[in-house]
Structure 1
C-alpha cells in the first residue's frame, strides 16, 4: 500500500478520540466508528425523560502527566470541563462526554455501527459491520475497545494481534437515583473500602449541573461480579437496600435505574502504551494498556496515533 490514506478508528471513547485528534493534527484523514448511540464510552451521561442528568460511568478525571494536564487546561478554556473539588478532580461540562466530543469536533464519526469483522487485502483494510455493510479501504486500523472486545474482534476476523488477552477488568453495577430530599451527608463524593457500595457521588455538586438531589452509586467489583447476570430489578432493589444500610436512613427516589458496566475498571494492565503491528498496520489502545484512569486512555490513544502517523507518513 502507498503511504498516507485514511485511518479507521474503532471506538469513540477517550482513547479513540485522543488517537483521532492526534492523527488529524498529523495531517491524516480519520474515520471513527462506535456501536453506541453517543460518543464517550465509559465517560457517559444518561438523561431521563424528566431532564435529569447522571454521569453513570466515570465520575471525574485527574491529570498527573504533562500532556494530559495541558489537554485538561485546553478543555477548561473551551468551557467543556471544570474543576470539581480541591483534590484536583475535574469533570466534563455539561456532562462527562463533553471532553471526548471536543476532541472529535469536526471529525467524521459513525455511531450505532458495530464493526463485526476486519480484513486486510491488497488495497488496505475493509470493515464489515453487524448489518453486513462494508467500509474501506483504510490504510490502518486502530481498535480502542476494552481488551476482551479487541480479542474477540481479532478472533472473529482471523487476525493476530497478541497482547489484549493479558489485560483484565472488573465489572460495575451503577445505581442512579433522583431523590425527593437531600441524602443526609454533605460530601460531594464518598468512597468505601468494603462491599457492596464502593462509591457515592452527588451529581448536583458538580459544576454546571442542575440543582436537586441526584446520586450515582457504584457497586464494588466483587459484588458486581457476583451479581453480574442478575435481573436489573433485583440488582436495583439490592443496591437501594445496601445504600440505605450504608447511609443509615431510607431513601425515597422519584427515579431509579441501574446500568451494568461489564468492563468498568482495569484490574490488570498490559504495561505498554499501546499495541501496533507495522506489518499489518493494525494497533490497539485503551486504558487497559496503562492503567485504570482516563488519563491512561488518553495517553494510550496518542501513543498509538504516533506509531501509525510515523508509519503512514514515512517516505511521503
Structure 2
C-alpha cells in the first residue's frame, strides 16, 4: 500500500485527498498535514470566543460558478448542493458586477464546510499543527521533516501550500527544480490583505439591508459582509457577525505590521462607513499574506511535477487561478500524475 502525504488542508489538498481515495480505494494510505489548528486554509471559518454569536468566514466569502465551469465541474457542484454544503446565494450584494450566466453559492455552515466535506469523504489521516520544514529523498521514498516533531517516510508527497512556503523548504526540493521551474515559481505573485471579523450579542441589530457590499471609494476597506445574514444564519439566540476585507493596496502598505496594530485603523474606517454599527462583543483580525494569486505559473498547467519517482508534486491555485474551480482543476491535474506514478 502506497503512503501518500498531502501538505495543506485547504481546498486543493482536501480535493486531492478525496479524489485519490475515490480513484484508488484502499490501495493508498492518505495522510494530510496542516500547520494550522484546523481545516480550511483560505476558506477558513472562525468561531467566536462567545458561543452566543455566529461564526464568520475570514477568507473566501462565496463561490461563483461560470456556465462553462458549472457544466464541466457539474459532479462537484451537484455533490455539494445535494448534501446541503452549498446553497444558492440570492440575497442582496451591493456593487457586485456579474458576467452573464454566472451563479453564486453560499455555505450555510461557513466556507470551511466545503473543505471538511471533501476531507471527510477522503477518509484521510488528518493531522493539524504539523508544520513541514524539509523534504529529503531516501531511495524510493521521501523523508518529510516537520517543526517540533519526528520525521516520517512517504511514497509520494503533494505540496498544496503557497509557493513562497514551498520554496522555503529545506532538503532536496531546491536541487531538483529545473532552472525553468524555479523561474516559474519565483514569478508567482499573491495579493495580501487583512480581514476582521466582528461578533455581536444576540440583541444586536444590523440596520442596513444588504448581505454584502463592495466598497469602491475607501482606501482601506473594499468589502463588507453581514456574514451570518449571507448564510441565512440570522435568528433568535445568537448574535450576528460581520466581516471586513481590506483593499490590496492597503494590505501591501501594512503587510509587515502586526495585525494588532492594523486592526484599529480598519475599525476606524468601518465606523465611518457604518456609523450606526452596534458594539461587538469580540473581534478577530487575520493577516492574509497570501490572499489571491495575481500572477500564476504560465499556461496554468494545474500542477508541477518536481520528481516522477518517488512522486513529488506541487499543486494549488498558483498553478491555475484563485477560485473554487481553479482548485478543482489543480486537484484533477495532480490526480492524473499520482495515478500514473502509483
Q: Which residue of 1 aligns with 2:98?
A: none
| Contact 2:167–2:174 (8 Å) recurs in 1 | no
Unaligned runs of 5+ in 1: none
Structure 1 Cα separation of the partners of residues 80 and 59 of structure 2 = 19
Please state how far the C-alpha of 1:56 moved relative to its aligned partner: 0.9
Structure 1 Cα separation of the partners of residues 107 and 277 of structure 2 = 31
> Which of 152, 159, 167 does residue 151 from structure 1 map onto?
167
Residues 1:167 and 2:188 aligned together: yes
Q: Which residue of 1 aligns with 2:210?
A: 187
- Stretch moving more, 250-259 or 145-154: 250-259
| TM-score normalised according to structure 2 size | 0.83
Residues 1:6 and 2:3 aligned together: yes
Unaligned runs of 5+ in 2: 92-101
Residues 1:73 and 2:75 aligned together: no
Structure 1 Cα separation of the partners of residues 5 and 175 of structure 2 = 16
| TM-score normalised according to structure 1 size | 0.90
> Which of 82, 97, 100 does residue 115 from structure 2 map onto?
100
Residues 1:24 and 2:21 aligned together: yes
Pair 1:26–1:250, CA change in 2 (3 A): closer
Pair 1:159–1:85, CA change in 2 (3 A): farther
| Contact 1:171–1:225 (8 Å) recurs in 2 | yes
Q: Secondary structure at the match of 1:12?
A: coil
| Contact 1:203–1:214 (8 Å) recurs in 2 | yes
- Stretch moving more, 241-250 or 72-81: 241-250
| Aligned positions of 1:1-316 closer than 5 A | 5-27=2-24, 28-29=27-28, 30-51=30-51, 52=53, 53-64=55-66, 65=69, 66-85=71-90, 88-105=103-120, 106-136=123-153, 138-153=154-169, 158-161=174-177, 162=181, 163-179=184-200, 181-194=204-217, 195-207=219-231, 209-211=233-235, 212-247=239-274, 249=276, 251-270=278-297, 271-276=300-305, 277-312=307-342
Please state how far the C-alpha of 1:278 moved relative to its aligned partner: 1.8
Structure 2 Cα separation of the partners of residues 233 and 207 of structure 1 = 28
Please state how far the C-alpha of 1:284 moved relative to its aligned partner: 0.6
Q: Deviations over 1:273-295 (max 9, x none)?
A: 11114255211111111112122
Structure 2 Cα separation of the partners of residues 123 and 274 of structure 1 = 21
Structure 2 Cα separation of the partners of residues 69 and 235 of structure 1 = 41
Structure 2 Cα separation of the partners of residues 281 and 234 of structure 1 = 43
Structure 1 Cα separation of the partners of residues 129 and 175 of structure 2 = 24
Please state how far the C-alpha of 1:153 moved relative to its aligned partner: 1.7
Q: Secondary structure at the match of 1:253?
A: coil
